[in-house]
């Protein structure tokens, strides 16, 4: 088995990691983070489960990372994403696992955000010899496919020079953040067409590495069950068309499963057989963090309203110290991620070379 240095992986090593996932029938959770608490919790959870992991940030998450007080929203989205990446570059190797660094959805109006991160990433690459991010998502799935692919190709050319990848999306993942409500869904759009995937491969593969978020009925967020049917066989059909057309080995696409929160376990397992190496998880880990903090606050309510407990007369500093209650959020998030590593079968499969102290 190929082993990698612990820390942020990119370029050839990223491809090695993806191949290990696909060969081993497992996937990595891609967890959205919004600050050091969630970022560190993801690395701690990965280390605890001896799994590699993907840390990703949305444009809104990046803005929050930089601080809501910064006036220029665009600058904050860029600065926050750089700041998060530097945080992970600094710490990941100390957790003894491999981390993929990724930015989440960027639709047409957010392409300038990706372009600026690529430009800033170029400075970082010249300084350190490493890209700032392993990959950026370019999500033009709401645009006509020709525009989606030509823009993706343009950005991939830039990214590939810095040993970076991109993730694209074909078909629309349903859910609140996409303006696709779970009640009235245009079903065709929720299922990616194998011919569209093939067109993407033929244009992008000669330029550089891309991963593909294909829609198979997946939805962002957690809704009442029954509205949308997950059909992982859609992924299988896309893989088989490409295998046949280009005489390639099994599962040539590197597939991404968006909207992993709340999905049926059997459908997750089936998706792993069809070349899914990355499953996005955000809603469930957000809830876990909030739930962990919420339970603690409820149990220690006096400490959140009084510096001296009115019932006992004792100082409450030990309860309201942010290191105590934020830690409860981290711990609950880690517990939810234990489940994700198990569902995705990545626990115990880190490629990272063990550190001497292990």
Active site residues: 104
DSSP letter string, 294-340 = HHHHHHTGGGGT-SB-TTT--B-HHHH-HHHHHHHHHHHHHHHHHHH
CB nearer to Zn ion: give 271 or 293.
Answer: 271
Query: In this chain, which residue has its C-beta nearest to Zn ion?
Result: 258
CB nearer to Zn ion: give 170 or 303.
Answer: 170
CA 358, CA 354: separation in Å to the nearest integer?
6
CB nearer to Zn ion: give 236 or 258.
Answer: 258
Minimum Å distance from CB 31 to Zn ion? 12
CA-based end-to-end distance of the chain: 19
CA 211, CA 255: separation in Å to the nearest integer?
6
Minimum Å distance from CB 142 to Zn ion? 12
Name the 3-class secondary structure at 139. Answer: coil
- Give CA torsion, residues 96, 60, 114, 79, to 10 deg: -70
Does 236 engage in binding with Zn ion (CB under 5 A)? no
Minimum Å distance from CB 56 to Zn ion? 9
CB nearer to Zn ion: give 209 or 278.
Answer: 278
Which backbone phi and psi does 353 adopt, to 5 degrees?
A: -65, 125
Q: Binding string to Zn ion for residues 256 to 275, with x set by CB under 5 A, is what?
A: --x-----------------
Smallest Cα–Cα separation from 251: which of 225, 232, 265? 232
Minimum Å distance from CB 104 to Zn ion? 6
By CB under 5 A, the residues from 91 to 150 that bind Zn ion are none
With contacts defined by CB under 5 A, how many residues of the chain interact with Zn ion?
Answer: 1
Name the segment binding Zn ion (CB under 5 A); options: 80-88, 111-119, 252-260, 264-272.
252-260
Do 290 and 268 touch, CB atoms closer than 8 A? Answer: no
- Give the residues lining the site for Zn ion (CB under 5 A): 258
């Amino acid at each position: 088995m190929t082993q990698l240095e612990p820390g942020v992986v990119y370029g050839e090593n990223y491809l090695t990691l993806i191949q290990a996932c696909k060969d081993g029938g497992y996937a990595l959770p891609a967890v959205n983070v919004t600050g050091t608490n969630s970022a560190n919790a993801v690395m701690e959870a990965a280390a605890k489960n001896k799994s590699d992991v993907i840390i990703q940030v949305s444009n809104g998450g990046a803005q929050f990372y930089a601080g809501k007080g910064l006036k220029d929203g665009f600058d904050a989205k860029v600065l926050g994403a750089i700041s998060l990446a530097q945080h992970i570059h600094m710490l990941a190797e100390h957790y003894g696992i491999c981390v993929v660094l990724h930015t989440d959805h960027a639709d047409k109006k957010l392409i300038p955000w990706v372009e600026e991160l690529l430009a800033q990433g170029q400075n970082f690459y010249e300084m350190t010899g490493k890209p700032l991010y392993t990959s950026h998502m370019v999500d033009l799935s709401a645009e006509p496919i020709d525009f989606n692919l030509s823009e993706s190709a343009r950005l991939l050319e830039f990214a590939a020079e810095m040993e970076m990848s991109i993730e694209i999306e074909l078909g629309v993942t349903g859910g609140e953040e996409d303006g696709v409500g779970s009640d009235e869904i245009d079903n065709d759009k929720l299922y990616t067409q194998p011919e569209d995937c093939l067109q993407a491969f033929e244009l992008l593969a000669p330029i550089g590495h891309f991963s593909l978020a294909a829609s198979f009925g997946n939805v962002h967020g957690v809704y009442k069950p029954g509205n949308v049917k997950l059909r992982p066989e859609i992924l299988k059909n896309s893989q088989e068309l490409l295998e046949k057309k280009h005489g390639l080995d099994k599962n040539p696409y590197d597939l991404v499963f968006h909207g992993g929160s709340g999905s049926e376990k059997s459908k997750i397992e089936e998706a792993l057989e069809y070349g899914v190496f990355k499953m996005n998880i955000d809603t469930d880990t957000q809830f876990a963090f909030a739930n962990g903090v919420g339970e603690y606050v409820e149990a220690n309510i006096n400490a959140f309203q009084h510096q001296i407990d009115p019932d006992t007369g004792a100082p409450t500093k030990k309860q309201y110290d942010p290191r105590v209650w934020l830690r409860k959020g981290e711990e609950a998030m880690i517990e939810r991620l234990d489940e994700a590593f198990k569902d995705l079968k990545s626990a115990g499969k880190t490629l990272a070379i063990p550190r001497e102290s292990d």
